[in-house]
Amino acid sequence: MEEPTTTVPKKRQIYVGKITIVRRIVQIFVIIFLNAVFWDSFLKIDLSFFQSMFRFVPFLSSPRSTFSDSGGFLELMLGSMVARIVPFLLFGLIIFVTIVFGRATCGWLCPAGLIQDLFGWAGIATKNNREMGITTHAYVSRLKNWILGLILLFIVPFLFIADNNTYLQYVQVLGDFGKNPLGFWSLDEFLFVFVPTITQDIATSGNLELLLSNWLYIVQGFFYLIIMILTFYYPRFYCRYLCPYGAITRPFAKHAITALSRNPTKCVGRKECGKCEKACPMQIRILDESYTRISGNGECILCGNCKQVCDKEKYQAIELSFFKS
């Protein structure tokens, strides 16, 4: 393992390899064919007969879609807790999927991931991409843990409220947050529920008062506008620093069966190459990782960018591996 350095990688370059092409096809398939809001709001097609099927693959549909009352594993888990049901099955599914595939769902299936990738590409193409300082990146990465902790602080008490009157009062106090705990913090929710719904309502009514009269809409709009601007400079900014799903899966992703690893006999190191680090959208210092597993403390989304550039340089030092620790 190489000694850590404070060297800041050079600017990224766009390279589209076979892995990226396949990943884009999968992401586009998910975002179009498995996005209930797209079909329901824009194409006016009722596919509710798929509802039972989509409840078994909730991470593929958008939050609060017509296919599901919530939409993602974490959304469904929090919704169950609000209903005073301990979500053993959902939490078990999160652990199982993450232990087997790591955070590949973030890199290959998440609809918001594709949008972030497009903004990140734009930043790279215009040479506006940036890197967080090593210390700053490590510190800011903890933000999503605090966000998840704050959400759970308000939601976990539901499991201990036995009295119905107290329960109803607590639901009333929390308001929209109690009905949809992850709503404000979900980029998927914003892009594929909030924006289409508001756009459709404004188009139907013909005025902007609906948007301007609700201060929460304005705050949420500006918040995610800032997030997408930052994504232009720092690829996958939301995934890196703000996503609660990333926070809950990270401890298990560190020990996933499926992972990327480096071949020590082929890797020439940071001084001679280091292009794998420049290609990583999660800013993982790959060359400081163990040869047996590229984890980034559970942040690797298995996008394959590092392997692509390594193969392009003819080193072929990064491999998909299984059951390595």
Tokens of 98: 């993450």
Domains of the chain listed by start with CATH number: 18-250 (no CATH), 256-322 (3.30.70)
CA–centroid distance for 67 within its chain = 20
Q: Give the pLDDT confidence score for residue 51 in this predicted structure.
A: 58
CA atoms of 67 and 60, how far apart (whole Å)? 10
Alpha-carbon torsion (255, 274, 112, 189), positive or negative = positive
List of residues 6+ apart from 190 with CB closer than 8 A: 220, 224
Q: Give the pLDDT confidence score for residue 15 in this predicted structure.
A: 67
Going residue by residue through the chain, which has 325 residues, state the pLDDT in tens, using 9 for 90 and above.
444 444 444 556 666 789 999 999 998 888 776 665 556 655 666 666 655 555 545 554 554 554 445 567 788 788 888 889 898 888 888 899 999 999 999 999 888 899 999 999 999 999 998 999 999 999 999 999 999 999 999 999 999 999 999 999 999 999 888 888 887 888 888 887 788 778 777 777 777 776 777 777 788 889 999 999 999 999 999 999 999 999 999 999 999 999 999 998 999 999 899 999 999 999 999 999 999 999 999 999 999 999 999 999 999 999 999 988 7
Q: Give the pLDDT confidence score for residue 74 in this predicted structure.
A: 83
Burial call 133-168: b when 16+ CB within 10 Å, e when fewer = ebeebeebbeebeebbeebeebbeebeeeeeeeebe
Residue whose token pair is 């997408």 = 228
Q: Give the pLDDT confidence score for residue 5 in this predicted structure.
A: 45
Q: Give the pLDDT confidence score for residue 2 in this predicted structure.
A: 44
Q: Give the pLDDT confidence score for residue 237 in this predicted structure.
A: 96
Q: Give the pLDDT confidence score for residue 71 in this predicted structure.
A: 60
CA atoms of 39 and 22, how far apart (whole Å)? 23
